[in-house]
Amino acid sequence: MLQAIKSAAAAFCAACMISGILIRLMPQGSARRCINAIAGLYILVTLLSAVPVFAAELPQLQQPAVTAQPGQATSFSDRVLAQSEEQLAQHYQTELAVPQVELVLAQDKTGTYVQEIVLVTETALSEQEKEQLTRRLQQELQPVRIQFKTKDSIENEER
C-alpha cells in the first residue's frame, strides 16, 4: 500500500511541476488552459488507478486484537501499542536472525519510545557482537535499555 501511495504522490508531483513549467513557457490563452486541463486529468487518472490498490489493502488495516487481562480495560492506544511491540519484535527477530526479541514500548507526553529490548540468542554473544547490535539498535530505535540473554539463561530463570 505504501508503494501505491508513493507512486500516486510522485505522479501528482510530476504532473504539477510539468504543468507549472509549461504554463510559464506558454502565452496566455487557450493553450495554457489546455495544459491545466490535461495535467488535472492526468492527476485524476493516476489517483483513480491507485484506488483499487487502497481498497484491496483496506481489510488488512483492522483494529488490533489484544485481549485484556482480567480486571484491566484496554484502550485503543494500548492495543495499538501492543500490536506495534509485536510487529517490531518480529521484524527485528528476522532482521537480526535471533530466536527471540522481546520489546517494550512506552508512552509519555512527548510520544512513544522503546523502553526495553531483550535479545535472546542460542549462545552467548561476544562483546564485539553486543557492541555492534547495541550501536545499531541505539541508532534505529533509541531504546532506554538493551539486554542480551541466552535461551539457557531464560530456562534457568524459570526454574
- Angstrom distance (rounded) from CA 88 to CA 81: 10
**pLDDT score of 47 more than 90:** no
d(CA 84, CA 58): 18
Q: What is the pLDDT of residues 83-103, one digit of tens each?
A: 888 888 898 888 888 888 998
Most confident of 16-20, 62-66, 77-81, 134-138: 134-138
- pLDDT(18) > 50: yes
List b or e across 130-152, with b for residues whose CB sees 16 or more CB atoms inside 10 angstroms. eeebeeebeeebebeebebbbee
How do residues 98-132 score in pLDDT, each as one tens digit?
A: 888 998 888 888 888 888 999 888 888 899 999 99
Tell me: pLDDT of 154 over 50.
yes
CA-based angle 141:143:146, to the nearest 5?
120
Query: 23 vs 72, which has greater pLDDT?
Result: 23
C-alpha cell at 143: 531504546
The answer to whether 96 touches 127, Cβ cutoff 8 Å, is: no
**Alpha-carbon distance 52 to 54, whole Å?**
5
Closest CA to 97 of 62, 136, 69: 136
| pLDDT band per the 50, 70, 90 thresholds, residue 40 | confident
Q: How far are the Cα atoms of 76, 87, 98, 100, 119 from residue 94, in angstroms, in the given order?
A: 27, 11, 7, 9, 12
Average pLDDT over residues 36-57: 68
The top-scoring range by mean pLDDT among 20-24, 133-137, 148-152 is: 133-137
- Render pLDDT for 53-65 as a digit per residue (tens, 0 to 9): 655 655 555 555 5
Q: Per-residue pLDDT for 73 more than 50?
A: no
- 68, three cell numbers: 485484556
User: What homologous superfamily is domain 76-158 in, according to CATH?
Assistant: ANL, C-terminal domain (3.30.300.30)
Q: Which residues contact 78 (CB under 8 A, 6 or more apart)?
A: 66
Report, as an integer, the average pLDDT of 153-158: 68
